């Protein structure tokens, strides 16, 4: 329940992947009407959300139709950030810890990548997508970032890789030098995330940059000709009104990024907001208004929703939705959410998701930084389970 008297948009449907369910029904050959009827009856999902899930599922089926069974994605985690956002529940460590740990962390990561390169080659996989996230990878120095990108290009065959994404989420970590490094090493998509354009909210959520810094970083990034710049915003941030969110979204759209991702605030157990910010009924209703505005406004301005997921404890029981200009969609986001491709995770807290017909398994890396450094051999041994998984009977 979202704690307000407004209707639950997703009814009683649990789980983070409502679109996957709909895509599976489409693959089984069910008609839109049959799917609508079944979702209405079983979960009382609103008509708007059923239409949304259907349209995204249809789009995803088209976008992934040429995805081969042996194509995989790499996810590489750089767990450092300049400061910790109050709503963060990721394994992220602040810049002070980074000074102490960056070097041993990168050394451990390189060893894990080397094993990954061998496994990919032995199993005959093709790397279709690379995603460096975290954390904020651009917290690394330009030289460290350059070395990391070089290492990836030397360890894996990237000749069939259609996208190379880097989270450059915090504008206070972006410099022209780092942008040049990324573009020079073949990065195609970067994320620069304002979350809000309101200074008081930025302070409240623990981000120490100005709203203008985001737009300056976008201007700098545009000079490097990345194929895609993504910008994240959050609906339902503590203390924000629907009008403030609308101002943020209008300003972000005016910067003309190829992707805009609209998250809804989620109060996660591991975040500093847990127990401090309890959304009121008004906040739930406000978040619903924000998302309604986002769908209408982004539709009018040419953006199409192409992936969607939900999390626990979301304000208004809503969802996170990725929007894209047509042809600029991020395959990693779709493949992850639809569980359509194997993702090899590297680094602290990363998850390797093994996918083959009829079977999905996960291999977890530890979430604690010192544990990750102390248990490197164990992390590498865990990854070798991939040989067993893919050589079992239901082989790809």
Query: Shortest Cβ distance from residue 74 to ligand SF4 (Å)?
Result: 19
Residue numbers of the site for ligand SF4 (CB under 6 A)?
A: 81, 84-85, 88, 90, 92, 134-136, 169-170
Nearer to ligand SF4, 276 or 281 (CB): 276
Q: Least CB distance from residue 3 to ligand SF4, whole Å?
A: 24
The secondary structure of the chain in percent helix, strand, coil, rounded to multiples of 5, reads: 45, 20, 35
Q: How far is the CB of 198 from ligand SF4 (least distance, A)?
A: 17
Residue 360 burial (C-beta neighbours within 10 Å; 0-12, 13-18, 19+)? exposed
The CA-atom distances, in angstroms, between 341 and each of 55, 73, 228, 337, 366 are 21, 7, 22, 10, 22
The answer to whether residues 230 and 257 touch, using CB atoms and an 8 Å cutoff, is: yes
Nearer to ligand SF4, 10 or 215 (CB): 215
Q: Which is nearer to ligand SF4, 63 or 202 (CB)?
A: 202
Least distance from ligand SF4 to the Cβ atom of residue 383, Å? 23
Closer CB to ligand SF4, residue 10 or residue 80? 80
Of 359, 358, 353, nearest to 386 by C-alpha is 353
d(CA 130, CA 386): 18
The residue nearest ligand SF4 at its CB is 88
* Residue 92 C-beta: closest distance to ligand SF4, Å: 4
State the nearest-atom distance from the C-beta of 87 to ligand SF4, in Å: 7
What gap in Å lies between CA 6 and CA 184, rounded to an integer? Answer: 50
Q: How far is the CB of 193 from ligand SF4 (least distance, A)?
A: 7
State which residue, 42 or 270, has the beta carbon closest to ligand SF4. 270
346 within 8 A of 356, measured Cβ to Cβ: no
Q: Which is nearer to ligand SF4, 136 or 365 (CB)?
A: 136
Strand partners, 355: 360
Measured from the CB atom, the residue of 202 and 291 that comes closer to ligand SF4 is 202
CB 136 within 8 A of CB 169: yes
Q: Which is nearer to ligand SF4, 22 or 85 (CB)?
A: 85
Smallest distance, ligand SF4 to C-beta of residue 98, A:
12
Name 213's Cβ contacts closer than 8 Å, sequence gap at least 6. 171, 172
Q: What is the DSSP letter of 137?
A: G
Report the candidate in 322, 324, 348, 347 with the shortest Cα–Cα distance to residue 336. 322
């Amino acid at each position: 329940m979202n704690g307000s008297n407004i209707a639950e948009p997703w009814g009683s449907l649990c789980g983070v992947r409502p679109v996957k369910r709909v895509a599976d029904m489409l693959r089984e050959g069910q008609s839109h009407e049959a799917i609508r009827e079944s979702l209405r009856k079983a979960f009382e999902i609103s008509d708007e959300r059923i239409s949304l899930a259907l349209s995204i599922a249809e789009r995803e089926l088209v976008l992934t139709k040429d995805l081969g069974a042996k194509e995989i994605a790499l996810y590489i985690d750089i767990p450092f950030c300049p400061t910790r956002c109050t709503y963060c529940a990721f394994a992220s460590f602040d810049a002070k810890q980074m000074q102490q740990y960056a070097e041993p962390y990168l050394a451990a990561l390189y060893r894990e990548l080397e094993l990954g390169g061998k496994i990919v080659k032995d199993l005959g996989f093709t790397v279709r997508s690379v995603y460096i996230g975290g954390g904020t990878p651009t917290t690394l120095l330009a030289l460290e970032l350059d070395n990391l990108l070089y290492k990836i290009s030397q360890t894996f065959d990237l000749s069939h890789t259609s996208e190379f994404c880097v989270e450059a989420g915090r504008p206070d970590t972006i410099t022209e030098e780092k942008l040049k490094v990324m573009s020079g090493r073949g990065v195609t998509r970067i994320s620069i995330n304002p979350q809000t354009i309101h200074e008081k909210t930025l302070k409240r959520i623990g981000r120490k940059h100005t709203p203008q810094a985001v737009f300056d970083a976008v201007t700098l990034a545009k000079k490097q000709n990345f194929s895609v710049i993504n910008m994240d915003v959050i609906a339902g941030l503590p203390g924000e009104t629907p009008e403030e969110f609308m101002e943020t979204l209008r300003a972000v759209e005016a910067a003309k990024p190829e992707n805009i991702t609209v998250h809804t605030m989620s109060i996660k157990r591991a975040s500093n907001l847990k127990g401090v910010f309890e959304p009121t009924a008004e906040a739930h209703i406000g978040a619903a208004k924000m998302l309604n505005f986002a769908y209408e406004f982004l539709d009018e301005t040419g953006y199409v929703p192409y992936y969607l997921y939900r999390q626990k404890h979301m304000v208004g029981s809503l969802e996170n939705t990725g929007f894209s200009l047509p042809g600029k969609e991020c395959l990693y986001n779709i493949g992850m959410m639809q569980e359509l491709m194997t993702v090899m995770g590297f680094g602290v807290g990363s998850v390797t998701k093994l996918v083959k017909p009829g079977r999905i398994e996960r291999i977890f890396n530890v979430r604690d930084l010192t544990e990750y450094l102390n248990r490197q051999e164990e992390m590498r041994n865990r990854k070798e389970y991939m040989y067993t998984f893919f050589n079992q009977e239901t082989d790809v």
